[in-house]
Amino acid sequence: MRVAVIQQKNCADLNANLAHSLALVRDAANAGAELVLLQELHRSLYFCQTEDTSVFDLAETIPGPSTETLGALAKELGIVIVGSLFEKRAAGLYHNTAVVLEKDGTLAGIYRKMHIPDDPGFYEKFYFTPGDADFNDGRSGFTPIETSVGKLGLLVCWDQWYPEAARLMALAGADLLLYPTAIGWDPADEPAEQQRQLDAWITIQRAHGVANGLPVLVANRTGFEQSPADDSGIQFWGNSFVCGPQGEYLAQADSDSEQILIAEVNLQRSESVRRIWPYLRDRRVDAYGDLTKRFRD
């Protein structure tokens, strides 16, 4: 299967961002992609650098205008599109939500970001409620979304640091792990520290592929976005990538340009890799009870 990952720069114009995303998706489809992954919160600037109640006006319902637009494009092109939206679930209840549009334009499913950070420049707890641990139909919050191109283990940005999230998606039958992301450097950090952060980010996600025998798709934004409060900001570090079930690179973007990554993903390789590295077979599930504790005192 040919997949595409979109690495995009954003501006303050919502309509311009969406139009640009749609154009990049078209280009990816023209290159043969059957599955296209957009970056986290691709409709706007990364607004979590400050806490501002007026920003909640950016949120929208799901289904809503963006899912209708993405769905129409998915149907026109005959592809699966994964988008990322600021969801208004109810008054005072908002989520960072990834959406999957099927080839026929229907909404195949949603994933609400489960791990929410709260760090300088990334004040997401002010805006986003964590996804529900269980859906009303009894499914876990870490449940793959079934599509015509496979079961998508969809996670969002901060989720990418947690091996538990990737493992639970794998245990639920995911065929691929996908991470729409918005992460970057504090420009004030020393270059060596910036490199350590980037290396850690790449390594942890490739490790999720290795530990679970699954391909991984990562879409990060790029470009500098200034804080609304002062002259500081975030230099988003790009480096979107696709890797296979042994962590091998299939495609990788640079740090500072918009790119459409195209990669060939062979889902049968997961079967072959899991036969020689049967991690799921050898798990000691009888000894992992303490994983549900915050900490072992």
Per residue of the chain (297 residues), give pLDDT as tens.
Answer: 999 999 999 999 999 999 999 999 999 999 999 999 999 999 999 999 999 999 999 999 999 999 999 999 999 999 999 999 999 999 999 999 999 999 999 999 999 999 999 999 999 999 999 999 988 777 789 999 999 999 999 999 999 999 999 999 999 999 999 999 999 999 889 999 999 999 999 999 999 999 999 999 999 999 999 999 888 999 999 999 999 999 999 999 999 999 999 999 999 999 999 999 999 999 999 999 999 999 998
Task: Report the SS3 class of residue 262.
Answer: strand
- CATH for the 2-273 domain, from 1.20.1630.10, 3.60.21.10, 3.30.70.20, 3.60.110.10: 3.60.110.10
Per-residue tokens: 91: 């008054």
pTM over the 0.95 mark: yes
- 6 bridge partner residues: 260
- 259 bridge partner residues: 7
Decide: residue 288, CB within 10 A, 0-12 exposed, 13-18 middle, 19+ buried.
exposed
Cα 55 versus chain centre, distance = 21
How many Å apart are CA 70 and CA 72, to the nearest integer? 5
What's the alpha-carbon Rg for the chain, to the nearest Å? 18
State the helix-helix crossing angle for 191-212 and 163-171, rounded to 10 degrees: 20
C-beta of residue 176 within 8 angstroms of C-beta of residue 216? yes
How many Å apart are CA 121 and CA 108, to the nearest integer? 32
Q: What amino acid positions are annotated as catalytic residues?
A: 40, 113, 157
